[in-house]
Amino acid sequence: MASHQILAGFHAVTARLRHAPDSIKEIYIEASRKDKRMLTLVEQADRYQVKIYAVSMDRLDGLAKGVRHQGVVALAEPRQLAVNIHDVLDVITGPAFFLILDSVTDPHNLGACLRTADAAGVHAVIAPKDKAVGLNTTVQRVACGAADTVPYLMVTNLARTMRELKERDVWLVGTTDQAEQDIYQVDATRSIAWVMGAEGEGMRRLTAETCDELVRIPMAGSVESLNVSVASGVCLYETHRQRSLKGK
């Protein structure tokens, strides 16, 4: 079981069934649940000939290891949607669109970022291996299936990967409270990668220095900063807005 990835909750399990049913080894469901949502999941699993076991809540709790599971847990083979940025860039036909997360270690934040990235049309999310959370069970649940649609690339050297993006004509825009320009002055219709740092510390020095441009998110109230997943959403949808207008 240690070699398997644990998926908990309806969104994570149904998304994997939809995108890669062959990767799921078995599904465990709460034995007492007979509602429509559960029956639909069972029908979907039967369609792909995935084994289903009806078990107790205690058994599900043990499998999910503390993650809220809604009565559904699956054991699956880990998936890798892309190996590196070039795998992603080589199949993009229009302007590239990336989200770089520097030092984001909270699984709830990463899950929310992946969910927003999927909604906004991001081609891949990039993070450093030494300063980031992996695609654990909590991330999969919070991402609501986005972890199976948006490549999450954990790289050994973030600054080097950023330089590789520059060589492929991707404009790197970092966000910081100290910047003079705001995000609405960025030309987001070109190939772009938004670079977000963790709350509190923000981007690391070398990450900020590798960016082509540094901007801030305007803050009109009394709080000093936004949660990284909310800040990512603001920036990603500014890109979506600009590109939508350009396409009209």
Share of the chain above pLDDT 90, in %: 62
Q: What is the mean pLDDT of residues 150-154?
A: 91
| pLDDT, mean over the chain | 90
Nearest to 114 by CA among 71, 86, 79, 145: 145
- Look at the alpha carbons of 153, 158, 163, 164 in this order and tell me if their dihedral is positive or negative: negative
The CATH class, in words, for 85-246 is alpha beta
6 marked as part of a ligand binding site? no
- 5-76: in CATH 3.40.50.300: no
Q: What is the mean pLDDT of residues 144-171?
A: 91
Task: Report the relative pairing of strands 124-128 and 152-155 from DSSP bridges.
Answer: parallel
Residues 171-188 have pLDDT tens digits of 999 999 888 999 999 999
What is the reported pTM?
0.80
Q: What is the mean pLDDT of residues 220-229?
A: 80
197 marked as part of a ligand binding site? yes
In the chain, CATH 3.40.1280.10 covers 85-246
Q: Nearest 10 degrees: CA dihedral of 78, 98, 119, 19?
A: -30
Nearest to 24 by CA among 69, 92, 79: 79
Residues 68-126 have pLDDT tens digits of 899 999 998 877 777 789 999 998 888 999 999 998 989 999 999 999 999 999 999 99
**The residue to which tokens 């070398």 are assigned:** 206
172 marked as part of a ligand binding site? no
- pLDDT at residue number 82: 79
Q: How many CA atoms lie within 13 A of 81 on its CB side?
A: 21
- pLDDT at residue number 240: 95
Does pLDDT of 224 surpass 90? Answer: no
Residue 223 or 216, more confident: 216
For residue 81 the two structure tokens come to 């949607």
- pLDDT at residue number 2: 45
Three-class SS state of 11: helix
Q: What is the mean pLDDT of residues 33-40?
A: 92
In the chain, CATH 3.30.1330.30 covers 5-76
Three-class SS state of 22: helix
93 touches 37 (CB < 8 A):
no
